[in-house]
Chain A
Amino acid sequence: MALPQPLRPGPTPYELEFIASDELIEISPSFSMERTRLIHGIIGPFRPPGKSKVPLWLAVNLKLKRKCNIVPPDWLNVEYLQERLAEETSSPAFSALPFRFAEIAKVLLDVAADDLALPDKIRSLLKDLREARQSKSRDGLKKLDHIQLEMANLCSMEINELRPFFVKAMGVFTKLQTDSQGNADDQAGGQDMDFSW
């Protein structure tokens, strides 16, 4: 099979992580290296203690070889996430987080927890955020119809999680809509019959 069954409904979390790994992140390398051409573009030169921006996958690669420290993005710290969580629980809208925050945060917590301040606290904040947002997106289901739904500030991982159910629900709405248009008369007749029993 060209595309295995589990991949058909949409991208998997691993594939989303693969995409997020192309985003740039700052590292402070512990070795020096000349400029290197990748298909992406140019990386380096690395001149410790200077910092450099590289794609996340490269940062992870170097980190695992203990050749760099990762500078956490400015949204991945306790204060910022606490503010977002407060926003999340006090207002009905979704707070603005980077589109691929879940993937990036997971990767960084996995490989570079020692570069983060209070990683455990961050982990639990991310979990709280996730739960708060999840219950909101379930509420959002009420607004779903067969035409359109705007979902401001939803993140890539969340959309992926909602996708199967939302798409299916929309399909059911669409079907009901076309059925009721197509058989408006029959249905009225049929219903009368049913009630007369």
Chain B
Amino acid sequence: MDYSDDFDAVRATSSTAWEDETEDIGQTSLQRLTRWWINERGAPDILVWQAQLVEELLDSLHNQATMVQHIRSDPRTSEQEHFRVVLVQTEMERVKFLIRSYLRVRIHKIEKYAGYIMREPGVQVKLSSGELTHAQKYYDLISKYFHSSALEGLPENMRSLDEQLPNGRSMITEPDKDRGVFVRARKKCENVRLPNGDSLTIEKGSIHLLRYRTVEDLVARAEVELI
């Protein structure tokens, strides 16, 4: 039996997909998720959950796994095909690492900003349903723990976890959007508003250190990437 069809089945993506890092067209879901992973690592705020990319990659992983199983379970598989299977598996491990790393950085942010997420419905929509459930449960657990371990012993008016102090500081940890981030432009961005009111044109491919607040929208629209 010839398995070359299994290996071969050409997908929409061609091998030229690797050529230009800054173009979306022809980029594989792998490259795009890699970019969102690094964006997520760089951004102080939590970004929109890349449901489609993760789904596509999980599908690809599933397909590859089925194929590997299929080939390995066949005793007539040649030495050379086994070698190809090893390459396929090596790549699968890399993709799994990527997805795991992406999820981990998000979980870290969800736990750090649980109170903030629970307070802001606008942030909740950026999470997947699983992540939102986690945020809810985590926040409930933490609040219960704080109450039972310490807060119950305090006067009633000191027990809240979301107090806003008169000087504007809040008990809820919020992402620091004024933190500096390194960005690289994926296309020319004109009229980027700087905090001092000036506007800036970012040339394609150029690298800048800017406050996250300045580029927040550009990151969301994938016009710049964090590096």
Pairwise interchain contact B34-A22, C-beta atoms closer than 8 A: yes
Pairwise interchain contact A148-B214, C-beta atoms closer than 8 A: yes
A57 with B90, Cβ < 8 A, contacts A3-B104, A22-B31 known: yes
Contacting chain A: which of B14-22, B45-53, B117-125, B149-157?
B14-22
| Bound-complex Cα distance A53 to B92 (A) | 19
B70 is an interface residue with CB less than 8 A from chain A: no
Chain A interfacial residues counted at CB < 8 A: 49
Pairwise interchain contact B38-A41, C-beta atoms closer than 8 A: no
Q: Please provide the chain A residues from 136 to 166 with a CB less than 8 Å away from any CB of chain B in the complex.
A: 144, 146-154, 156, 159, 163, 166
A39 is an interface residue with CB less than 8 A from chain B: yes
B61 is an interface residue with CB less than 8 A from chain A: yes
Set A22, A41, A148: member contacting B15, Cβ < 8 A: A41
Pairwise interchain contact A148-B194, C-beta atoms closer than 8 A: yes
Chain A positions within 8 Å of B, measured between CB atoms, are 1-3, 7-8, 10-11, 15, 18-19, 21-24, 33-43, 53, 55, 57-58, 61, 99, 144, 146-154, 156, 159, 163, 166-167, 170-171, 174
Chain B positions within 8 Å of A, measured between CB atoms, are 4, 6-11, 13-15, 17-19, 21, 28, 30-31, 34, 38, 41-42, 57, 60-61, 64, 80, 83-84, 87-88, 90-92, 94-95, 97, 101, 104-105, 107-108, 111, 178-182, 194-196, 198, 200, 206-211, 214, 227
